[in-house]
Structure 1
Amino acid sequence: MIILDPSESRFRTELEWLSSRLSFPFADHYDPRREAFGPLKVFNNDTIKGNHGFGAHPHREMEIVSVVLAGQLKHEDSLGNTAVTGFGGVQRMSAGTGIIHSEVNPSDEDCTLVQIWIAPSDRLREPSYETSHYDPEALNGRLLPIVSPAGGEGLSSIGQDTTIYMSRLSGGEAVTFRQAAGRRSFLFLFDGRLSVNDGHELTQQGDAVRAENEPELALRAQGGGAFFLLIDLP
């Protein structure tokens, strides 16, 4: 089963310093038909104005992944971690038994990112934080893992049986993702046009697909190409 979630169906938050498009209910937005997708609870596409951001606030029992697409994002937390990441950078925070952190844009330019919240397999794990960096050129023509349970060189680890991939395909180029039995996938289009299994067309930035019980996803870029993210979930 494949469900297409058009970009315009997302919730919106507009503040003086923040523009957010929300694929799942978040804060004051609620829709019981899209409450979660397995352990995937939040998928927010944010643009933060320069020298603004989210001040110190607490989290518990959640794996939070921030993927920076443009600009810079600065993280500070109650464990003493401080880091600034840009395009090619990934931040993973395991809130576990409790952590306080802030996320701000320290530059004068806009910061664009996606933030992903995934329920952990062990909700009472110790809180932790890490950054990783991938080579943007390595996205071309393949599904590149950027987050996985075990982590590794160029990957952040995560406390769930989940892998996050990114890819950039030229027009007409294709990749196939083989989905194991009982798994589900969430695919999000950053830019371009992408067909899924020759029957589902993603044509607008922010279009997404939820797939369950599909043995494979045949992904083909249309037109000038496609830039997208795929999350493999239990």
Structure 2
Amino acid sequence: MIKVYPAESRYHADYGWLKTYHSFSFGEYYDPNNIQFGPLRVLNDDFVAPLRGFGAHPHQEMEIVSIVLKGHLKHEDSAGHTATTTFGGVQRMSAGTGIIHSEVNPSATEEVNFLQLWFLPEVNGLTPSYERTTFDVAKMKNALLPIVANRPSSREIAHIHQDLTIYLSDLEAGKEITFTQPEGRRIFLFVIEGELTLNGKTTLHRRDSARITEIPTLGIASKQGTRFMLIDLP
């Protein structure tokens, strides 16, 4: 089954310094029918003004992934980690038993747009940890490039404490790729830019998403070209 969530169906809030779009219940937005999809608990599409951001705040028992789409994002935490990321980089934080962190836009002139994803961990009580990885953007071309995984095969892939893999792809106009997974797993797909069609029938546009179950083989094609994120979930 493919269930499409149009971009305009997301919860939207504008705080001036922050414009945010929530794909799942988060903060002041609560929908008992939209809490999570498998272990995927949060997907926020955030736009943060220059020199603004999320000040120091605590997290616990959550795997948190930040993917910058445009601009720069600076992370600091109570364990002493500091890093700044742009597109081509991933920040992964395991909150575990508890950690305090901040995420701010260090630029005085440029807005930052990033996706923040929260996943429930495989087990609770993990020691908090942080990791910044970088990947080769060129490898996204007409391919599914893993950038976060439970069993990373290279230093370009961030390690997450959950049985999932996050892929990014730049699919050129007229091209098609196929994703296959074992039966019983889930697929979450998010269109970052452009448009795509799933299994020749279901079309998604910019910032649309799809929650896919009981379809182990997924054909992804684009007439105009697309950049998208695919998550393989238990």
Q: Same fold (TM over 0.5)?
A: yes
Note the alpha carbon deviations across 1:160-212, whole angstroms, 9 max, x for none.
00100000011111111102111001000011010011111002x21001001
Unaligned segments of structure 1, at least 5 residues: none
Q: Is the 8 A contact 2:185 2:216 kept in 1?
A: no
TM value normalised by structure 1 = 0.98
Query: Which residue among 193, 196, 199 is the counterpart of 2:195?
Result: 193
- The secondary structure found in structure 2 opposite 1:21 is strand
Instruction: Please list, as runs of the form range in 1=range in 2, the aligned pairs for 1:1-234 lying within 5 A after superposition.
Output: 1-108=1-108, 109-151=110-152, 152-203=154-205, 205-223=206-224, 225-234=225-234
* C-alpha distance in 1 between matches for 2:214 and 2:124: 27
Distance 1:195 1:174 in 2: 9
User: 1-side partners of 2:223 and 2:203: how far apart?
Assistant: 9
5+ residue gaps, structure 2: none
Q: Decide whether the 8 Å contact of 2:92 with 2:131 is kept in 1.
A: yes
Which structure 1 residue ranges, 4+ long, deviate > 3 Å from structure 2?
A: none
Distance 2:165 2:216 in 1: 17
**How far, CA to CA, are the matches of 1:19 and 1:222 in structure 2?**
30
Q: What's the % identity of the aligned pairs? A: 50
What is the distance in 2 between the residues matched to 1:88 and 1:175?
Answer: 21
Question: TM (normalized to structure 2)?
Answer: 0.98
2: CA distance, partners of 1:165 / 1:11: 24
In structure 1, the residue corresponding to 2:195 is in which secondary structure?
A: strand
- 1:145-166 Cα offsets, whole Å, 9 max, x none, are 0000123321100000010000
Aligned residues of 1:192 and 1:222 also touching (Cα < 8 A): no
Distance 2:97 2:147 in 1: 25
Cα distance in structure 1, aligned partners of 2:216 and 2:151: 24
- Structure 1 residue 215, shift from structure 2 partner: 1.6
Q: Distance in 1 between the 2:15 and 2:198 partners?
A: 34
SS at match of 1:33: coil
C-alpha contact (below 8 Å) 1:161/1:233 kept by paired residues: yes
CA RMSD of the aligned region, Å?
0.7
Alpha-carbon distance, 1:136 to partner: 1.1
| Aligned mates of 1:83, 1:24 — CA distance in 2 | 27
